[in-house]
Structure 1
Amino acid sequence: MASVTERSFKQKILEEDLCCGICQETFRKPKALPCLHTFCQECLTETANLGELCCPLCRREVPLASDGVAGLPDNFHLSELCKKFSELPADPEEDAAAQHCEYHPTREIRLFCTSSKCGVPICVQCFEDSHGEHKVIPVKQAVEKRMTRVNPLLKEKKRQIEERREYLKEIRRLEDQITDGKRKSEENILESYTERAKLLAEDKDRLLDDVQQSYQDIMKDVNATKEAVLQQLKDLTDVVEEVEQTKERQAIKFLRHEPDELREKLEQATVDPVWAPLEVTATLCRPRKIRKEHLTNGELVSEVFSAKTRWQTVVTLLSHVKLRAYTAMETAFNDLKSMKP
């Protein structure tokens, strides 16, 4: 359990969404290219060759001004996210003093007195001195018992985190599909225009511009949705980690105070429901067969790309409801049977 906490959800987000695709490290001065892909300024500078630059991902040529890569627009949103993650505190060290009995400082608190008159964590010496006739349980067991008031909300927040992780995976798949469609469309357009460049130069520019404009419009919507999901995932992760750290590392503090504060934090960490499957319509190019009498180079068509979220959690929930209903019916039937003379 401790190793999972130390790795944390934040580290996974850093690795998957806040890393440069070239150096595979957290973004440093992220620069946005016209194709909306983002890389570190230093990485792009090393990639540029004599004032020319191609996007390392989609290979689109990027014109550079006199100031080179430094003149490209900054991705302020990614910069801010990277800054926030870098400022997050590390997991706090376990407070050793809080684990020792205030009446017997050399003894560790390992028990919890469940007596209605007591209800306090105690050490072995306390048990021998004044709690010998009371019922006691291990501290860990007492924590889990108190956590029953928090567990439903904690479980729900974890479920919401998993839903958003799945949604982000679908968005990334959608990005790959759109990028691949754009690349193939550009190849089809360029191959077609090579044979009739002089006659169809204006048509070539129009088609390329339409495809590029469609791609930019779609990627703006996709990136906006992805950034919103990332922000919600960060908010949920922060509150879940705080609750789990309090339970694991500050058990005594938790037992001395009711977990109302943790419940309130979990309740306040509200997020909008998971969006419907993201669906976009992209403008692609389908080349026509070249004929002397028909000098058209292709046509722009609309193709739907969809990112569908898996709703396995809903299916599982329905299965549990059916199981409970069946169990209740079976119990009622057995009761009726036992009542017969």
Structure 2
Amino acid sequence: MAAASERKVLEEIGEDFLCCTICLEQFKSPKILPCLHTFCEQCLVTLVEKTGSLNCPECRQQYQLPVGGVPAIKGNFFMSNLIEIFKQRLESIQSEIKCEACKENTGTHKCVECKHYLCKNCVRAHKKLPVTQTHQLMTIGEYKTAMSTSPVTLQAVEYCSFHRKNEIEFYCETCQVPVCSNCTIVKHRIPEHVHRDLKDAADEYLTELKAMVDKLKVKEQEAEKNKTLAKQIHTDLTEQCSREERKVRMKAEEIIKKIKREEQRLIDELKNNYKMKIKRAAADIDEMELKHGNIKSAGNYIETLMHHGNAAQLLSTKGDVGSRIKQLITMETIAKAEQSDFIFTPHIKFCEHGILGIVKSDVCMSKCTVENIPKRLLKGDSADLLITTRDSKGKQVIPKQQLKAKVRKPDASWEDINVADNRDGTHRVTVAGQLDGNIMLP
């Protein structure tokens, strides 16, 4: 666990931001996925070896492992730089620091580019060497003051990965990568490639990114609202089941013990309806939790990148950030579960029928079945049709609505016919032939 001095360093960013959610330790060789979630390189290697695929542990998205494996995944040098700042700030509060060049004298200065502490003698040598003479040197006092006020300003200059002595100064809009001056005449030549000043491109992108983040916040609010709605449906279904169960029990208490089996049957039926619907509601909550978490996680990362990243860091993930934001903004965040009733209805003539009551539920018309349909029905013939009402899962249920039936006569008109309710989810309808021709069944 970080000490009190470490917590102070992390006030602006937060300690958890610099920790891998797999190993729960500070990032080592951080790798960033297209969904903007970051993990240690070794943690991803272990994960891929275990599962055989690259799935983000945070949002569960699956990605194609690049040629070269996990080491070929884009490194998060923005995160690496934040960790370096963290380490530098811890060093800055030490009472005595040794020179990291000669390893003998007490350090008096800090090189921002090399990130090394130097004594007075090594400072003079540092200023004379052509490779390091342009480096920014600060006294230990100046460095501690800068670290306590604005550590981000001490970030080292970003150098080209191909021309390591050249500072990154331009942005190739054609390839969407930061480049140095040599790159503009070697791999990114005009007119095939369009170049811009790095800071101008970063400032313009920052404006675009702010607008996208605003939309992302609206999407987060929408997801949170629908998550709350899904939870409310879950609660309402639970409360409704409890209310109906109490009604069943109250009715059962009014009569003798012989109805206990009937009572239990009705309760089981209620709970079966409840379990089916509560499972859908629970799935909605899980989905909304995941989507809301993904949106919030991406938003937090992007805002931190905007506030603490430099121009090169900001533009290095431009493609991934834009793609991820568009993906999240267009993501479906509407709860699928619907409020659906299942109602217990007491039977008025219990003593006559021996039925305590029935549980009526929603009926899915497309799942209902009709049996005993004759191929031809002539005058003088009749047929008894058996209609079974079912829910969306195909389970036989007693409908809340009254079942009605019609037959189509030879003159194309429709006639209502009686429906006998068997009070168990089945209904009997008798149809008769009226003319020498066939009767048309609905």
TM-score interval w.r.t. the shorter chain? Answer: 0.3 to 0.5
Pick the structure with more helix per residue: 1
Q: Greater CA radius of gyration, 1 or 2?
A: 2
Higher relative contact order (CA 8 A, sep 6+): 1
What TM-score, normalized by structure 2, do the two folds share? 0.37
